[in-house]
Chain A
Amino acid sequence: MTAAAQTATYREALREALADAMRADGDVIVMGEEVGLYGGAYGVTKDLIGEFGAARVLDTPISEAGIVGVAVGAAMTGLRPVAEIMYVDFAGLVMDQLGNQAAKIRYMFGGQTGVPMVLRTQGGTGRSAAAQHSQSLESWFAHVPGLRVVMPATVNDAYHLLRQALTKPDPVVFIEHKALYVSKGTLDKDKPDAPWGAPVLRRAGGDAVIVAYSRMVHEALAAAETLAERGVEAAVWDLRCLNPMDLDPILESVRACGRAAVVTESCLTGGFAAELSAQISEHCFDRLEEPVIRIAGEDVPIPVAPDLEAASIPTPGLIADAMAWLVSREAPAWA
């Protein structure tokens, strides 16, 4: 921690990152629905229009594909746009411009130009926002070569990963978590938690490894607390970046204890947990004592009923039960 450290919310850290990036680089513009006068659906861009004006904080019509498409063209011609898509659930409307255009332009054009843009969006459950406003769709993006995908869990990462994203030469999908906006933590503008692409060990532990990202890091940490009371020490790794992704430190940690779980809020089938599990299994095969397990969201649309919503994603209790079972073969009551 340096002298610059302060307490901030995740939302404030994101806003600070945008403001600092816009001060540092006159080519950075923010565009999207309600980002200007309204201040952002979740308040992340609050008052930016006051400091930077309507030409750099551009309120757009409700035209998601158009927003991303315009950002692509602007990025190819000298601006560095931050295009906000209000909910990641609207990805269906933007996937062509993102997956076929932004992601492939450098490649298709033989390296003549890149698309240095950031698509900011937010996802996840926690507000009883139901099936079309609560999803975790990172695996859609992570499946496309050419797209960077990052998902900050902490206040410091919210700031630094966004600042770093705004220096990168390739398109970055930056996915915030709606339940984390009010979370508080230490923001140290002088000190990123780790380099771009690297995971961070949020808790050490020698009995098993939990890999998580975004909000699930906090659920995994809560699980690790209760596990410690039950005599199980679980390491919790925060992946932070899905692409680029440096899995080596995590693999080392898994090799040391032979047990690993991947925790995602996104539903199980075809999800990023499967990718992580496969890579860990391939690289740690002869050191594994147990299969790598995936603790992921249920394979259901997110229901509106708060109790069902909460039950549709991994909870600290569920994670702790599964880890205890994995480590000490204590079957939980629900088994």
Chain B
Amino acid sequence: MSDVARASNRPLLDLYRTMRRIRSFEERVGEMFVRQGTAGSMLHLSIGEEGVAGVCAAMEDGDSFTTHHRGHGVFLARGGEPGRMLAEIGGKEAGYCAGKGGSMHIADMGVGHLGANAIVGGGIPHAVGAALSYKTKGIDAVSVAFFGDGAMQQGLLYESMNMAALWSLPVLFVCINNQYGMGTRIDRAAANTDFAARAEAFGLAGRHVDGSDVEMVLETAAAAMTTARSGTPGLLTMTCYRFFGHARMDKSPYRDAAEEAEGRGHDPVAAARARLLDRSEAREADLDALDAEAAQEMDAALDWALAQTQPPGAAMFDHVYAPDEPPPQPLRDRLSDVLREYR
């Protein structure tokens, strides 16, 4: 039984809370720019993709995952602490990676986050490698690779899926299909967009789900995780819509207002809210209170993150190599070594 389902007898309410937290978080990421200028200029918001909370809820403690460059939502849903996430995004020492990675390279071994990736498709084989470790060492865990529809066109995905299927590894590939890779709509990137069929062709279990229905996401992902855990890797594609531009500066001039309005109509957060009210699983006032709580949490996290400092200069040379290994020689020291001899 998954974390969320175990934790509550009202799974939709929990999923709603997670999704609301993701949205509130992403709104603060946008605000961070305004309040702090340029730190971490490569920011990709997952607003519209919150349904991924359903996949995260189907994962267990001990499972690991990698994400793409639009991975804040996944990390938050898997236990990322918003203050430290925002600190990392802003290049602060208190961040998850000591301010050395940022939004696109955030990671937390503590919750099994093996890393976000700025290379489209780059983190996919790492999840396969983790699954290889689990199988070799007899560890009961699944590794999940999250990526966008853009990565469906990367060769490395197919190398990875083939090896996962060949070796019966506990991996789930999750494609968050937000319809766009930067300005290229999916039908301009692939002749056949039935991605689940591609996975089937490789011997994986292919599944597809509407990302605006988070309950369905949870149900489908739970089935996919069970299959993966038993050694049949799968691909789950989740359709959604990227509500805003690719990154901060992108105003999406390549798509029209009607399309955006239609796309934003598939709002997983609003849909879950409507369903909770409809089924009388929550009252309007409860949900408003929950929204306010999420907003407060993220406001506090943002204030805290903004108050943090950047790493000291000497940190530049830490972690190029392992702590016991000599760090690279700083340029000034090197120049001094050379020039002192002749002066």
Contacts and interface: CB of A to CB of B under 8 A. Distances in A.
B235 to A, nearest CB: 16
Interface stretch (B35-43, B95-103, B274-282): B95-103
A77 B166 contact: no
A228 B93 CA distance: 59
B122 A76 contact: no
B126 A69 contact: yes
Contact of B156 (A69, A78, A107): A69
A120 to B, nearest CB: 17
B160 A77 contact: no
Contact of A283 (B123, B137, B338): B338
A293 B64 CA distance: 52
B296 interface: no
B305 interface: no
Interface stretch (B2-10, B212-220, B239-247, B313-321): B313-321
B320 A107 contact: yes
A285 B97 CA distance: 41
Contacts of B230: none
Interface stretch (A109-117, A212-220, A324-332): A109-117
A150 to B, nearest CB: 14
Given A73-B143, A108-B115, A145-B320, A61 B98 contact: no
B253 interface: no
Residue among B105, B321, B323 facing the most chain A CB atoms (10 A cut-off): B321
A72 B129 contact: yes
Given A70-B125, A73-B114, A73-B125, A96 B130 contact: no
B322 A169 contact: yes
B198 to A, nearest CB: 16
Interface stretch (A6-14, A97-105, A132-140, A154-162): A97-105
A110 to B, nearest CB: 3
Interface string A67-105: 011111111111101000000000000001100110001
A114 B322 contact: yes
B133 A111 contact: no
Contacts of B342: 285-286
Interface size class of B (residues with CB under 8 A): 35 or more
A10 B16 CA distance: 62
A169 B324 contact: yes
A297 B119 CA distance: 34
B228 interface: no
Contacts of A72: 125-126, 129
Given A70-B163, A76-B114, A77-B114, A108 B322 contact: no
Nearest to A286: B342
A111 B159 CA distance: 29
B327 to A, nearest CB: 10
A206 B163 CA distance: 56
A61 B137 CA distance: 22
Contacts of A29: 136
Interface string B75-117: 0000000000000000000011111110001011100001101
B132 A74 contact: yes
A301 interface: no
A1 interface: no
A199 B137 CA distance: 38
B126 A146 contact: no
Interface string A285-300: 1100000000000000
Contacts of A107: 100, 319-320
A110 B88 CA distance: 10
A101 B105 CA distance: 10
A70 B136 contact: no
Which 4 pairs from chain A and chain B are nearest by CB?
A: A73-B129, A69-B125, A66-B159, A110-B98
26 contacts: A61-B163, A63-B159, A65-B156, A69-B126, A70-B160, A73-B128, A73-B130, A74-B129, A77-B133, A78-B133, A100-B122, A101-B126, A106-B320, A108-B97, A108-B105, A109-B96, A109-B105, A109-B107, A112-B96, A113-B109, A113-B114, A168-B322, A169-B325, A170-B322, A283-B341, A286-B341
Given A61-B166, A112-B107, 16 more contacts: A65-B155, A69-B159, A70-B129, A73-B126, A73-B132, A74-B132, A74-B133, A76-B130, A77-B134, A79-B129, A101-B122, A109-B96, A109-B101, A112-B109, A113-B114, A244-B326
